[in-house]
Structure 1
């Protein structure tokens, strides 16, 4: 069994901001993005500061609060000394993000005698560079990261038991291991009454896969403590790597960032040609004095060209300007990127024109030309909007205008259709009929229930038996308007060849097809 050790530095963005400003990290510090707090120190939390507060409200609660703007380059640059210190004591470190790294627990526990001894030694190594950290050890990576937040060593085979009583929000606490929609999943699970990870794990994999999306399936595997891909320092055959000789040697961060972006584009051209995407990236550099530097970055989602360039820039920034003892004594003369773990290219959602190089810019210029010929409204971009039905949740905006939705998608929308959305939304909305086993019409009552159990769907002269259904979801809008707008939606799956699934909407006494699932 491959055990995983995770090292987590709490409130790292706030700690890095304090170090960069040369103030005490133990004081009240907050980091903001878009004028809202995204991280704060323990002292600031004791004064009432918390994530999500507006900057002015946070300063009102804590007048002595030091406020810094979010800076991912700063976070990565100042985390490099920590990663270097841990890597010197336990080789094979993989950085998930600044403030969090993982490594295989097997070798380090054998070297230091036990997992507890290894955890104590790595805490001491981090303390030697002036950083407090917590260690977690478990069978799986996601469990180890959660255990690090609790400073726990989970016994072998005890992952599900450890996770069971924890709040289901823990599954979305670490953004480097969760897709962006994980927060929406957690909110949905709360509304369904599944408040703990154990409640979520009790669902069958079939129910989760049929009801939720891909990320929910991954979260469910984590909740059940099922195997994930472990960290490994073993590199794959170097058939996809890219390399650049730097002449003159690179000794400035801006030059390093330019070289890193060029290499990232080259790497993704090779990956696209091989129909794969990178999930674990090895960044290597050689200096004029014969020094060799390397660091592995691990990602939950396949890397895009922009994500690769960011990680290369962060790493080079950390090497060139960091406080680590491994800081090079000469300029970088060779830079190399090597994907050490790849997945099928289908896991990476690229743009319409591939998203590699300057293809996106050429496409944009072509679309602007179309606008010039046919008018501004001829080319429109979809923006996620607020609404209850699938058609209402997209706002079409002319290309070049501000991507502003008509309604706030983050606002509560009682009666909103849950995920997944239908693959096609029908403008024509052909009328159908839901019937019970006796052929009588089935409608939705004022209490949001079916008048009878739906057994078949009739579309013109054709009829299908129902294999399953979900809903109904009531929509009651504009209650102050005498005309109002009341409706109900239901998902049905038809039996027979293809087993097509439909989204139906009921207005008054009639049903119509609003969408089709594929």
Structure 2
């Protein structure tokens, strides 16, 4: 594993707004997104405004504070001078998100003399060019490197596991390059916190299988990050092709509108070339030749790289180059190259949110099967919500709009506590729940466990079913469920029992115990 470096500019969204002149540097200001405040300057923080806070709460704390909506284009445009400053010290810089970059550090450290000296040079250069504070860190693996930049430190290979392990779950958000991917990560992290996990070391102890089985693609990303992998570069033994498209413009491109149109055409060509070969990218390299003879290039990370992803990155990048104000900055030649390509479906850890190329290919295959076998041939689950786990999901035909889609997000008071079982039986399995006395237990109308024979033992001791006996070591409940009294009434008492590494959800109805699902 190679030593990597990272540069991070704290509170870049609000810093970019100050550089753009949208807010005075002496005014309390913050930038907000879908989930509240994203960043705040020092004046706003002194008045109590913090990340994640709702806009209304921020206004109540500081009525005169200026709250600006997030503007990715502004952030990317103002980040370009910082990237040019980095180019003077580092050969290859990859943008994770505006305000955060990764780079291979070995060569730059050798030229500077040490990691500390390189960090000092970079910090000084950025301060001279952009007038803002920057932090530099070095480490092994994507997450360790990004977190090292937050601490302005150097993390050795031997310290990587312990360094990552003691970080809180929220530290994973530093690897989220967009607000959408940040939301996906936060949903998983909130669930892990409800399960009692607080540190990344505890998440690592869950293991790859548990994370990927439970959370799918996001679980793969979480595991790769906490395990210290380089998730921003795909590793594969076989050589894979690189695809590029190039256009020369006469007359040269001088406005952003012209560049957007040109980028759309090139992105379409590049996307069709990759999809037709069932490949997924990758790393997008944008190269522009200027009328004054200079050549500029910048690399962006993409997972698959939809046409919209490519167009957005190219538009932001070319817009920043065109707005530099230099004589002869008109673009005469534009080249897009996608590298780090893998067969679609092989790529295990996409860093970007949204639909990847492999997902797009799966969608096309599903539609093709439907055209051959009928609409009902492919079914997918969707959440409708219920107090009972077995009723929370229904199936529908692929691409069919679900019924009562909004009910899945209702609170459903009185429902069985989350998380639901990993495995739900199509038909509940008859079981016997025995107490220490050996008799089958029952649940009273008041929701209390008891033995109908009057024995003193009132706690479950053994779950007996067709798959064998499970000695119960822990249990939770019972929870009484009463619903639909007007039509097919349901009255049940649910328990969660655990033993021998297995968790089981059981319920009693009409004096009969049934197993509804299992947690492993």
Same topology, TM > 0.5: yes
| Correspondences of 1:99-248 after superposition (within 5 Å) | 99-130=99-130, 131-176=132-177, 180-205=183-208, 208=211, 213-224=216-227, 226-229=228-231, 239-248=242-251
| Correspondences of 1:72-83 after superposition (within 5 Å) | 72-83=72-83
Distance 1:214 1:413 in 2: 31
- Equivalent residue, structure 1, for 2:252: 249
Does residue 29 (structure 1) correspond to residue 32 (structure 2)? The answer is: no
Describe the superposition over 1:26-69 as per-residue Cα deviations: whole angstroms up to 9, x where unpaired.
54211123593222222211211123333343223123312211
Between 1:213-222 and 1:87-96, the stretch displaced more is 213-222
- Equivalent residue, structure 2, for 1:418: 419
Does residue 312 (structure 1) correspond to residue 314 (structure 2)? The answer is: yes
3-state DSSP of counterpart to 1:176? coil
Q: Give the alignment's TM-score, normalised by structure 1.
A: 0.74
3-state DSSP of counterpart to 1:95? strand
Distance 1:469 1:273 in 2: 55
- Equivalent residue, structure 2, for 1:287: 290
Between 1:402-411 and 1:56-65, the stretch displaced more is 402-411
| Pair 1:435–1:402, CA change in 2 (3 A) | closer
| Pair 1:35–1:114, CA change in 2 (3 A) | closer
- Equivalent residue, structure 2, for 1:372: none
| Pair 1:124–1:404, CA change in 2 (3 A) | farther
Matched-pair contact (CA < 8 Å) for 2:172–2:222: yes
| Pair 1:73–1:441, CA change in 2 (3 A) | farther
Distance 1:58 1:199 in 2: 33
Q: Which runs of 5+ in 1 are unaligned?
A: 368-379, 494-500
Distance 1:412 1:258 in 2: 52
Describe the superposition over 1:347-378 as per-residue Cα deviations: whole angstroms up to 9, x where unpaired.
5785999759xx9xxx9xxx9xxxxxxxxxxx
Q: Which runs of 5+ in 2 are unaligned?
A: 372-378, 450-457
| Correspondences of 1:481-492 after superposition (within 5 Å) | 486-488=492-494
Matched-pair contact (CA < 8 Å) for 1:47–1:61: yes
Q: CA deviation at 1:262?
A: 3.1
Distance 2:469 2:270 in 1: 51
- Equivalent residue, structure 2, for 1:60: 60
In our comparison, the structure showing a higher alpha carbon Rg is 2
- Which of 431, 434, 453 lines up with 1:433 in the alignment? 431
Distance 2:448 2:316 in 1: 56
Matched-pair contact (CA < 8 Å) for 2:148–2:155: yes
Matched-pair contact (CA < 8 Å) for 2:383–2:392: no
Matched-pair contact (CA < 8 Å) for 2:497–2:504: yes
| Pair 1:230–1:346, CA change in 2 (3 A) | closer
Q: CA deviation at 1:142?
A: 1.0
Distance 1:55 1:116 in 2: 39
- Equivalent residue, structure 1, for 2:46: 46
Matched-pair contact (CA < 8 Å) for 2:136–2:152: yes
Distance 1:119 1:403 in 2: 55
Matched-pair contact (CA < 8 Å) for 1:320–1:328: no
Distance 1:125 1:390 in 2: 60
| Correspondences of 1:392-471 after superposition (within 5 Å) | 392=392, 405-406=406-407, 408=409, 415-418=416-419, 426=426, 429=427, 431-433=429-431, 451-454=460-463, 457-458=465-466
C-alpha RMSD of the superposition: 4.9
- Equivalent residue, structure 2, for 1:375: none
3-state DSSP of counterpart to 2:201? helix
Distance 1:162 1:510 in 2: 51
- Equivalent residue, structure 2, for 1:321: 323
Q: CA deviation at 1:167?
A: 1.8
Aligned length, in residue pairs:
481
Q: CA deviation at 1:83?
A: 1.1
Matched-pair contact (CA < 8 Å) for 2:233–2:340: no
Describe the superposition over 1:483-506 as per-residue Cα deviations: whole angstroms up to 9, x where unpaired.
88655376999xxxxxxx999663
Matched-pair contact (CA < 8 Å) for 1:457–1:464: yes
Describe the superposition over 1:299-329 as per-residue Cα deviations: whole angstroms up to 9, x where unpaired.
4x54333322222222122222247x7x862
Describe the superposition over 1:411-454 as per-residue Cα deviations: whole angstroms up to 9, x where unpaired.
999744437866x885xx45543678999878899689982443
Matched-pair contact (CA < 8 Å) for 2:304–2:358: no
Distance 1:116 1:399 in 2: 57
Matched-pair contact (CA < 8 Å) for 1:238–1:338: no
Q: CA deviation at 1:82?
A: 0.8
| Pair 1:27–1:504, CA change in 2 (3 A) | same
| Pair 1:443–1:307, CA change in 2 (3 A) | farther
Distance 1:302 1:7 in 2: 25
| Pair 1:242–1:342, CA change in 2 (3 A) | farther
Q: CA deviation at 1:259?
A: 2.6
Matched-pair contact (CA < 8 Å) for 1:93–1:103: yes
| Pair 1:64–1:246, CA change in 2 (3 A) | same
Distance 1:283 1:403 in 2: 45
